[in-house]
Amino acid sequence: MFGNIVKSLFIGAIFSVTAAFAGRGDKAGTSAGSELLLPVGARVIALGGSSLATVAGLESAYWNPAGLTHETDGTNAMVSHMTYLADIGVDYAALSTNISDIVQAAASIKSISFGQIPITTADQPDGTGQFATPSYTVIGATISRAITDHIAFGLTANYLIENMEQVSTTGFAFTAGLQYMGLGGINGLNLGVVVRNIGAPLQYGGSGLIQNGSIDNSSRGSSQVAVIASTDDLPSTIEIGMGYKFMVSDGSSLNMTSAFVNNNYSDDEYSFGAEFQYSNFLYLRGGFHFLAQDQATTDIFGPAGGIGLQSTIGGVNVSLDYAYRVVQYFNGNHIISLQFGF
């Protein structure tokens, strides 16, 4: 029954996003809920975001919820931090557990911190002396199930909360994912498909939208008027990825990954990555992406790379991953992730 529900959501979401004229670079920056697109996890970021087909574990809750099924430990925990643009911090924490042999569930939270921002007004453009502290939070719940030995489905439901001083909004966004392992009977060849951020448009409200107004040619004085903001769509995407893992030598393997992202509110993009694994202990990663079409939007993110270490300490599997992503005009992004499995 779970498979039928997810299939229906998955197919319906594909038609919804396709009808929204995806790949529109001229619409960049006009969607709501852009924090939904902020990536998490050092491993996948180091691969340029290309491992939709091979991602596993708690990073899957964001990248492809179907990959949660491939978590080998019964209970897992993850924390991650990214230094983003202009001193913005992105913190992520997640916890997963086995419901049965073929079903995994996870809960996650992503928080974006902006620090203090000076408040300016039309009358005081240099600042009022007060500061605003915006907060963006995304709370997620993920469930993933192995349909067969080769196919897994996953679904993530996100509840987002945006508070920007006197204006705020909340809403739901859903992401559905599929992974097909051993595509065409070829061991190590995998396919991943993701439909991301499907949900109702967001509408902003709050005391910041209340202004003084008056009616022309009326003896009545001014009074407060509530401005009704228009709704804004979520930044939906359709993504498809391929991955191929092969043995280089005894204990060493190379995982090649690629992905195509069809954006509703930006240019489409391609990404590629490679991960070298040595003896289930050392991981070396690198990746890059580029925009398709006429690059109507400016892509400020460059290539990425990273390293990972994995070991068992006191019966607990511990993974430590680091990634660095080149950024134009700003300092580069540093991402560090720590995972535990037991």
The share of the chain scoring above pLDDT 90, in percent, equals 64
**What pLDDT is recorded for position 210?**
82
pLDDT, tens only, 170-181: 999 999 999 999
Give me the chain's average pLDDT, please.
88
**What pLDDT is recorded for position 28?**
64
Dist. CA 136–CA 84, nearest whole Å: 14
pLDDT, tens only, 241-268: 999 999 998 889 999 999 999 988 888 8
**What pLDDT is recorded for position 2?**
42
The share of the chain scoring above pLDDT 70, in percent, equals 88
Q: Which two tokens stand for residue 280?
A: 């289930």
Dist. CA 285–CA 209, nearest whole Å: 47
Dist. CA 127–CA 52, nearest whole Å: 45
Of 326 and 218, more confident? 326
Cβ-in-10-Å burial (0-12, 13-18, 19+) of 220 comes to: exposed
* pTM exceeds 0.85, yes or no: yes
pLDDT, tens only, 187-207: 999 999 999 999 999 999 988
Residue 285 has φ and ψ, to the nearest 5°, of: -135, 155
**What pLDDT is recorded for position 295?**
52
**What pLDDT is recorded for position 7?**
43
**SS (HEC) of the chain:** CHHHHHHHHHHHHHHHHHCCCCCCHHHCCCCCCHHHHCCCCHHHHHCCCCCCCCCCHHHHHHHCHHHHHHCCCCEEEEEEEEECHHHCEEEEEEEEEECCCCEEEEEEEEEEECCCEECCCCCCCCCCCCEECCEEEEEEEEEEEECCCCEEEEEEEEEEEEEECCEEEEEEEEEEEEEEECHHHCCCEEEEEEEEEECCCEECECHHHEEEECCCCCCCCCEEEECCCCEECCCCEEEEEEEEEEEEECCEEEEEEEEEEEECCCCCEEEEEEEEEECCCEEEEEEEEEECCCCCCCCCEEEEEEEEEEEEECCEEEEEEEEEEEECCCCCEEEEEEEEEC
Residue 21 predicted with pLDDT over 90: no
**What pLDDT is recorded for position 29?**
64
Q: Nearest CA to 177 among 95, 237, 97?
A: 237
Residue 115 has φ and ψ, to the nearest 5°, of: 75, -165
Residue 17 predicted with pLDDT over 80: no
Residue 304 predicted with pLDDT over 60: yes
Q: Cβ–Cβ contacts within 10 Å for residue 290, how many?
A: 15
pLDDT, tens only, 129-163: 888 889 999 999 999 999 999 999 999 999 999 99
Q: Position 200: which residue type?
A: A
Domains of the chain: 2-341 (2.40.160.40)
**What pLDDT is recorded for position 36?**
95
Residue 68 predicted with pLDDT over 50: yes
Residue 216 predicted with pLDDT over 80: no
Q: Which residues share a beta bridge with 327?
A: 301
pLDDT (average), residues 63-87: 93
CB contact burial 174-213 (16+ within 10 A = b; e otherwise): bbbbbbbbebeeeebbbbbbbbbbbbeebebeeeeeeeee
Of 46 and 212, more confident? 46
Residue 30 predicted with pLDDT over 80: no
**What pLDDT is recorded for position 23?**
53
**What pLDDT is recorded for position 12?**
44
pLDDT (average), residues 98-110: 94
Of 209 and 192, more confident? 192
Instruction: Name the pLDDT band for 6 (thresholds 50, 70, 90).
Output: very low
Rounded to 5 degrees, what angle do the CA atoms 60, 63, 65 make?
50
pLDDT (average), residues 7-16: 41
Instruction: Name the pLDDT band for 11 (thresholds 50, 70, 90).
Output: very low
Residue whose structure tokens are 């065409």: 184
* Residues 63 and 43 sit within 8 Å (Cβ to Cβ): no
**What pLDDT is recorded for position 247?**
92
**What pLDDT is recorded for position 1?**
45
* Residues 49 and 259 sit within 8 Å (Cβ to Cβ): yes
* Residues 66 and 154 sit within 8 Å (Cβ to Cβ): yes
Sequence-separated (6 or more) residues with CB below 8 Å from residue 238: 14, 17, 18, 22, 193, 194, 195, 196, 261, 262
